[in-house]
A and B are shown apart, each in its own frame.
Chain A
């Protein structure tokens, strides 16, 4: 039986990673026969959420082998499942773990794997955007099923289905051979900042090399705090320079954000940065170079020395909220 599958990252407690819900929502608009695959601790608890977003079947295993040994065990299990059930298409979110599983699976099945997908018109017809989101490319997928697609974050809005039934639960009983357990996750370190998550904040205040010095990021934190429900982000240039942790990076190799307001401070507007933020509802850019490319996507452009005006801006926002 064909149908569309979504590979869903879950965490203990049953939380489903956001892009999997976006994929489920898209999948059911193409074919009602949607199944989710959830492997690792939290999978069973995640079933009702998976169902609410459109999964009619859920293949689950709570076995920690699927997260403790990185991509090989889940890719192996997924391969067994697709060989048995033959879905037409498998969708993956862009998380690191999902990408690795998708990459391994394509080598096992010999299927096509398309990344950075921004829309899906049929199981074998996808779109992506290139050159900083200035061109849409239509791509026809061929070769053996299942077609494999990695969807760009926030390409689709996740929407639950009214009164969806509990999905049929199919336990995954796959014995992972020891040679696929050679890689091990030894420790986890969280560097997440206080305040709302970058992907969920209504306002994102992001800084680039134009801030001159890592200590000036403090000004962005103050601005974010003054606005409230705002998170601080950054360009790759300042992440690579070690000013701020990678978890703050926005763009092609970082996070994709879609806030109500995006404030870009001392950011030139390289295409790799723009793809991660240009879908924001409103964009404010502060840059001292009036020809900076960031101004081409800005609703409000401020040509100024950011360090000189930020304290004034913070005061004005505080005053507006107080008044």
Chain B
């Protein structure tokens, strides 16, 4: 089966994000990587093809350095990589991202698209489902367990109260939570092989899209700091802790 996995590039995934003067996330000049939220998706995709046969294609939209995200997925074991990059995509919103990724994915037949539930920096949590709509496939979201059963995709979908068992035929799209699979570390061999694997860099025109199709619909017009809450008392003597907590609970009238 052919599995496509979304591999988003995030600048500085563990550090403190920064805004540029244009109020956009600074994505240049910082050490970026594959979004840690996408690693479980890569893992899920790899396990599915290891089981059922087939290939995994990692697809990303981002600036040139986003090639690092695709490389990471390739080093983990994905078979081919695609990066869509274009000056017109700076500041692209969810809708534009979904449109572009859909156009990139549609170029080849696929059985399943895997994405993260939400990205570390964008965190809209809505790109993949818009992508599913553009691709015209059903979607199973918030999956914490994914399996194929007789050609049917079966998922444990996290809910507010517990989980639902949901299923659909292929082709489909699934979004996976961080708990869905423990991502493997790339081996040295994997890292070396990644450089030899098929990799395509595409521009908007390769996808038959124009800058008009990806015009942002959200403009940041201002940023203000939230007034900081003063931190309160610090108790460093453990013996005083129980009394201090009881007093606070009484002040709050909860006991």
A residues near B (Cβ < 8 Å) are: 70-72, 75, 95-96, 99-100, 102-104, 106-108, 110-116, 129-131, 133-143, 150, 182-192, 202-203, 227-230, 236, 239-240, 242, 245-247, 252-253, 255, 260-261, 263, 278, 281-282, 284, 286, 290, 295-305, 308-309, 312-313, 315-317, 320-321
Contact = CB atoms under 8 A, between A and B. Distances in A.
B232 A301 contact: yes
Given A112-B95, A112-B217, A137-B223, A260 B166 contact: no
Interface of B: 16-17, 19, 23, 93-95, 98, 117-118, 123-134, 138-142, 144, 157-169, 172, 177-179, 215, 217-226, 228-229, 231-236, 238, 241-246, 248-255
Contact of A182 (B134, B169, B250): B169
A112 B248 contact: no
Contacts of B158: 96, 246
Contacts of B215: 143
A113 B132 contact: no
Given A186-B165, A282-B252, A100 B23 contact: no
A14 B169 CA distance: 32
Contacts of A245: 162
A316 B247 CA distance: 10
B250 to A, nearest CB: 7
A301 B240 CA distance: 11
Given A107-B98, A135-B225, A253-B117, A189 B162 contact: yes
A129 B124 CA distance: 12
**Residue from B95, B128, B140, B142 whose CB has the most chain A CB atoms within 10 Å:** B95
A303 B236 contact: yes
Contacts of B140: 70, 183
12 contacts: A107-B98, A113-B95, A113-B130, A138-B223, A142-B219, A143-B217, A187-B164, A192-B161, A261-B249, A286-B241, A290-B234, A316-B242
A245 B142 CA distance: 14
Nearest to A96: B142
Contact of A300 (B132, B159, B235): B235
A177 B231 CA distance: 56
Contacts of A246: 144, 158, 163, 177, 179
Contacts of A131: 16-17
Contacts of A309: 238, 241-242
Contacts of A298: 231-232
A247 B178 contact: no
B123 A252 contact: yes
